[in-house]
Amino acid sequence: MLRSAVFALTLLLVSGVAAATPGTRNFFYLSRFGDPRVHNAVVVDTRPRADCIARSLPGARCLPPREFLGPHDRLASFRDIVWVLGATGLSGRETVLVAGDDAVRRDFVAGLLYLAGQSRVAVLTAPLTPLLAHTPSAPGTPRGMFRNPVYQGQPRAGLIVLREDLARALQSPHPPYLLDGRSRASYWGRRIRALRGGHLPGAQPLPMAALRIDVAQHDVELPLVASAVVYANNAYDSIAYFTLLRAGAGFDARVYPGGWEDWAYHTGLPVDAETYRERPRALAAFTGADRPDSDKSIMSVFAGLVLAAVTGYYLGRRRA
């Protein structure tokens, strides 16, 4: 099921090798530690800060996702992101090997590094903690208070799609192909994690959890289109989904980092399969909706008593 005749092609199950190469030369998944392609790479450990400081790969920099997220998990400004990268000891020119135990945490940091302009980003898919049991290790280094060096990576702005630009593009004769990485329950509005449920107009579902399994098995289901704008629930999930598609599946993806939460909160924007949460019963009772008949009877009696008292008062004054 596709959005228009322009994209009237069915989804086809193809092998990971036939569908796409595993990422690109400067952004790719790596299944084995010690691969010669990342010789002398700077290791970025995305596990919780305390775990990284206690034990990591030699020379590792501790860079958990929380360093880039503000209140309500909103993505920090680009200026703050660049400052964090410099304080972590990155200049942007290095090859980095991003590792961790949680795939979404790892992919979020990897994707953010790539979008920020890091020269070359490899993503180690093997969990880091078990690897440390039989690999030389050392305490990880947390970010400092000052930038050293100053981060000089050139942002890959062409891979980032902002809300206003996406809204205009969806109204054009040839709108971009959209992929939604949330669960199917969220896609169809059965699960609501924002102001409203549903999905962006014309978006096709390709859940991140299922895609991750397919990528690991080299058996990926991808749409037969040249490229797509991808999103998930919020910036954290959307950038992780972008990494999975671009570095893991080798798919030409751009990312709408605001994700569904950002789109859904702007109620003037169009939505497919739109749903809303049910109104709390306490609020319904307060507004008079679904009020039990006994409550309505009590209110009717009370109103009658008030009317009788007012009528008696005015009749008494006229007789006087």
pLDDT value at 220 more than 70:
yes
* More confident: 3 or 61: 61
Q: Pick the most confident of 31-40, 264-273, 293-302, 304-313.
A: 264-273
Least confident of 18-27, 140-149, 250-259: 18-27
pLDDT digits (tens, 9 = 90+) for 35-87: 999 999 999 999 999 999 999 999 999 999 999 998 888 999 999 999 999 99
Q: Any idea what DSSP says for residue 74?
A: P
* More confident: 242 or 24: 242
Q: Which CATH superfamily is domain 159-275 in?
A: Rhodanese-like domain (3.40.250.10)
197-199 and 272-275 as β-strands: parallel, antiparallel, unpaired? Answer: antiparallel
| Helical spans, DSSP H, in 59-162 | 78-87, 103-116, 128-132
CA distance 96 to 101: 17
Q: Where in the chain is the domain with CATH 3.40.250.10?
A: 21-155, 159-275
| Helical spans, DSSP H, in 10-59 | 16-19, 49-54
pLDDT band for position 311 (50/70/90)?
low
- State the CB neighbour count (10 A cutoff) for residue 180: 25
pLDDT band for position 282 (50/70/90)?
low
The gap between the terminal CA atoms of the chain, to the nearest Å, is 82
Return the bridge partners of 12, or none. Answer: 222
Q: How far is CA 197 from CA 21, 95, 238, 255, in A?
A: 34, 40, 17, 20
209 class by beta-carbon count within 10 Å (0-12 exposed, 13-18 middle, 19+ buried): exposed
Residue % of the chain over a pLDDT of 90:
75
- Model pTM above 0.75: yes
Q: What CATH number does the domain located at 21-155 have?
A: 3.40.250.10
pLDDT digits (tens, 9 = 90+) for 87-115: 999 999 999 999 999 999 999 999 999 99
